[in-house]
Amino acid sequence: MTKEKAKRTLTYYQQMQHPLWQKKRLRVMEFHEFKCQECEAEEEQLHVHHPMYKRGAMIWDYTISELMCLCEACHKETHKKDEVVKKAATHLRNEDKHEVAGFINMMVALRQHQKEQEFLNDDYEDDPDFYYGIKPLDMQTVVDVETFEHAMGIARHFKNVTESDIIDYAESDRRCPKWTVLVHDLLRIDKIDCGRSRMYQIQRDLEK
């Protein structure tokens, strides 16, 4: 049996003891400066949480952005809240699930966008080498648009942007792959009381 196949036979507990997980766990904690992402506690025992598991993946087969650094109390509370969300979504129709997913994806993207702006306003000026060499232009949060219902959920965060606007923008914006939009641009567009007829003019203005 090869080493790779042998690793795939490890139990969850054995994976937690594996050096690859210990290294990934440390990297996640270092990335978040040994603070809980929920309550920002610095003097509590920290856990690395998997918000979701991918079929067939080992517990270290995740990027830093796919994992969370939480204190013990917040880790327990996160699992409780996850069950609440799962229970609430139990009887949703498939199209409703897409809309809910879009709303959640946009909520997360807006939070990430806010963190990026705080970083650019504070840390980048003080220490340009901080954050593993990330430059301002690399920190433009995007949100994927998978279906029309998904766009409906995303649009619920905005006053002046509809799901049709989002899809038109995703299809025509040359800076992003199809069905991906820049959160920064959606926020700028939302400040303008516009309809679909003005979307392309706004896009041209944003590209200048």
> pLDDT at residue 111 above 80?
yes
More confident residue, 120 or 154: 154
Are the C-beta atoms of residues 44 and 37 closer than 8 Å to each other?
no
- Looking at residue 206, its pLDDT comes to 53
* Rounded Cα gap, residues 26 and 48, in angstroms: 9
Angle in degrees, 0-180, between the axes of helices 163-172 and 183-190, rounded to the nearest 10: 130
* Rounded Cα gap, residues 186 and 158, in angstroms: 8
Would you kindly state where each structural domain of the chain is located, as residue ranges?
3-86, 92-207
pLDDT tens digits along 14-40: 999 999 999 999 999 999 999 999 999
The answer to pTM > 0.75 is no
Closest CA to 146 of 188, 180, 176: 180
pLDDT tens digits along 151-195: 999 999 988 888 888 888 777 766 667 788 888 888 877 776 554
Percent of the chain beyond pLDDT 90?
42
How do strand 142-144 and strand 68-71 relate by DSSP bridges?
Answer: unpaired
State the pLDDT confidence band at 132, using cuts at 50, 70 and 90.
Answer: very low
> pLDDT at residue 93 above 70?
yes
SS3 23: helix
More confident residue, 10 or 5: 10
- The predicted model gives 65-78 an average pLDDT of 95
Cα of 141 vs its chain's centroid, Å: 9
Are the C-beta atoms of residues 105 and 155 closer than 8 Å to each other?
no
> pLDDT at residue 121 above 60?
yes
Give the angle subtended at the CA of 46 by the CAs of 136 and 117, to the nearest 5°: 20
State the pLDDT confidence band at 13, using cuts at 50, 70 and 90.
Answer: very high
> pLDDT at residue 117 above 50?
yes
State the pLDDT confidence band at 73, using cuts at 50, 70 and 90.
Answer: very high
The mean pLDDT of the chain is: 81
Give the angle subtended at the CA of 71 by the CAs of 66 and 72, to the nearest 5°: 110
